[in-house]
Structure 1
Amino acid sequence: MKNILVAVDHKKDAETLISHAVNISKLTSAKIWIIHVTEADPDDFLAREAGPQYVYEKRAEERKEEKAIIEKWAENLTKEHNVDVEGRLIEGSVIKSIKKLVEECNIDLVVAGHKKRNLVYGLFTSNKKKDLIDELQIPLLAVPLG
């Protein structure tokens, strides 16, 4: 195993997900890729003009903060655990973005969080982890989260 991707959605869950990746990395000497996929800005000019400017400025500021947090995690992990870590903030669809990075970086394992939901919720929403497994064809470690 050479590359492990940690898909972080919420800061509060990141420590749990990253700790699993670090444990595996110590056993295999794998590089860890920490990513957070964020919503992309509208591509066309008319869609962008439909909303107030402060919405776009706030989103840009949030992305800047998220990127800094991810880079700080990567830096701290490298220092504390002596593992090779790279952090990235990616804009776009979660499944497509992860799939693209998996292919580009030869990822061997994806570590992602799993939150228990009831059956009715699952019937009316997309199952991103199932879609991810179907798309990637590589192992996915689904870590239970509170």
Structure 2
Amino acid sequence: MTALKYKPDRLKLKIDEYFTYVDYLNKERKLMDEKLKPYTITGICVFLDICRDTWWEYSKKQDYADTIKKAKMKVENYVEEGLLSGTTNPIGSIFNLKNNFGWKDSFEVVANQPEQLKHDDIKLKLEELKKDRNNKSIDTTSLQG
């Protein structure tokens, strides 16, 4: 593997510059009623003049990991807020969150199994029911008219 282009402090500075640049562009776009430029990992890579594979290499290195995690979190937050506020395309935002940030649809299935009775317990219960049935008498007085 070739040497990484940026030292840790320089990478952090350049990523901060990217976010400042996008914020500046968006102030201009708001004035002109244009769509805002989103924060993206690909946008950071283009700004840094690196490919996504290099971005991945940075993320695996201890000295860079925190900077990469914070940048990803800022991009993820941008997408999430856009989704929840309705300012971004919901389908695109959901796709982005699932594929780039590990979000997933989930549901919980809770299976409550009834208490398992042992063979002897079942036999005892059946005998109790038979005894109850034999002890009950049928009241036929109400049937006579």
Whether the TM-score (by the shorter chain) exceeds 0.5 is: no
Higher relative contact order (CA 8 A, sep 6+): 1
TM-score by length of 2: 0.31
TM-score by length of 1: 0.31
Larger relative helix fraction: 2
Larger relative strand fraction: 1
